[in-house]
Amino acid sequence: MQNKYDTKFKLTLYVDEVLGLPLGGVNVQIMRSTHIEDRWRDQFKELVKDGWKVTANMLCDAIKNSNEADRLFKLNFLVLMYNVLIEGPTNPYVKQNILGFSGNLDNCSSYNWCDYLVENLRNAVLAWSEKPDSKYFTGSIPMLVYLYVDRVVNGKRQVRRKKPTFLGWSDSLILDRQISELATGSLKTFFNGRVALPLRSKHSMMRAAIRCFY
């Protein structure tokens, strides 16, 4: 019988396989700093009066207009990555929690972002399940979508598997999959198929085990 630690370990491996996030040996720690938040929000002060009302478009423009990969650029990229891949917002503005990341921005690959995503996903499911009719689900939608389309095979596999998984699936391919599963006008074909094994090597599993437990 599997315990919760075995299950969590497998889930972190799935995140690495599907999204390719770093599976480092250091846990991600968040310590809120109003000083860092205020300095980060200053770049948008000519666009918004309230610093928390930063949209994804504003953030993307700030990244594209950067001339160097300084600390501000790295924070912008981290906030964008967090909102797209780890925790989705519940309004038009990006979540800024990740500004409290206490690690080394120049060595992000040494942190276990896979485990951090799994924890956020677990918390999102618990929060949403309390009031599913009125609460937004904020867990990693990209993770769930790419995991589903890769691992659940309806008939013959149409897309060649790659690692990370998302590399093999364009938006149009995902749309085609959605249309084919809803073609009957019902959800009868959703999750109806064989579940494929994970696409990973013994070497990657050993590497992940070492990083997670030592």
- Residue 146: domain span: 1-20+134-214
Q: Do the domain assignments include residue 37?
A: no
Q: Are 148 and 169 in contact (CB under 8 A)?
A: no
147 lies in some domain? yes
Taking the C-alpha atoms of residue 203 and residue 78, their distance in angstroms, rounded to an integer, is 29
Distance CA 136, CA 127 (A): 9
Say how far residue 152 (Cα) sits from the centre of its chain.
20
According to the model, what pLDDT value does residue 192 have?
A: 74
A 10 A CB-CB count for 153 gives 14
- Residue 71, domain member (yes or no): no
Place of tokens 């364009």: 170
pLDDT value at position 28? 97
- 66 by Cβ neighbours in 10 Å (0-12 / 13-18 / 19+) ranks as middle
Residues 134/49, Cβ–Cβ less than 8 Å: no
pLDDT in the model for residue 62: 97
> Does residue 211 lie within any of the structural domains?
yes
Flag whether 172 is in a domain.
Answer: yes
Domain membership flag for residue 13: yes
Give the number of domains in the chain. 1
Within the chain, strands assigned E span 152-153, 194-195
φ, ψ of residue 202 to 5 degrees: the values are -60, -35
Cβ contacts of 100 within 8 Å, gap of 6 or more: 30, 31, 32, 33, 36
Task: Going residue by residue through the chain, which has 214 residues, state the pLDDT in tens, using 9 for 90 and above.
Answer: 455 556 677 889 999 999 999 999 999 999 999 999 999 999 999 999 999 999 999 999 999 999 999 999 999 999 999 999 999 999 999 999 999 999 999 999 999 999 999 999 999 999 999 999 999 999 999 999 999 999 988 877 888 999 999 999 999 999 998 888 877 655 566 667 788 888 865 445 555 555 544 4
Query: Encoding tokens for residue 62?
Result: 């700030």
Tell me, what amino acid is at 43? Q
- The answer to the question of residue 163 being in a domain is yes
* Residue type at 196 in one-letter notation: A
Helix (H) or strand (E) holding 182: none
Domain presence at residue 29: no
